[in-house]
Amino acid sequence: MHLVHDPAAPPAEAIAFDDFLKIDIRAGRIIRAEPFPEARKPSLKLTIDFGEGVGVKRSSAQIAELYAAEALEGRMVAAVVNFPPRQIGRFMSEVLTLGFPDAEGRVVLFAPDSDVPPGARLF
């Protein structure tokens, strides 16, 4: 699967609503962020609390160009919580933290603009 970062690109192929419902996107609160110098692209290791239903999960996020690890604790983010875990070097990334590319291609985190309960599902 190739991700499109071009804002002028047409929409992806149409999917059924039931396909969308298979993707479980939840809000979570970052409880720890650490540098990930071994990653190929500037990344941070995130520990995110998604509340009682999902629990605490870890994610490798290519966000180190715009975000300092020490500034992320307590911040809300959105992540796909039902992809299989993915090994990234020696780190097991359990969820996909979501973001959008800015004009320079750096990842800007996607999050609710108001506080929501950890584990709230996107619909």
Each residue of 85-117: pLDDT tens digit? 999 989 999 999 999 999 999 999 999 999 999
Question: What φ, ψ does residue 53 adopt, rounded to 5°?
Answer: -70, -40
Which CATH number does the domain housing residue 81 bear?
Answer: 2.40.50.140
Please report, for the chain, how many H helices and E strands are present, in that order.
2, 9
* Domain count within the chain: 1
* Residue 75 domain boundaries: 22-109
Tell me, yes or no, whether 17 lies in a domain: no
pLDDT, tens digit, 9 for 90 and up, residues 12-30:
999 999 999 999 999 999 9
Tell me, yes or no, whether 68 lies in a domain: yes
Tell me, yes or no, whether 65 lies in a domain: yes
Contact 44, 61 (CB under 8 A): yes
Query: Which helix (DSSP H) or strand (DSSP E) does residue 62 occupy?
Result: none
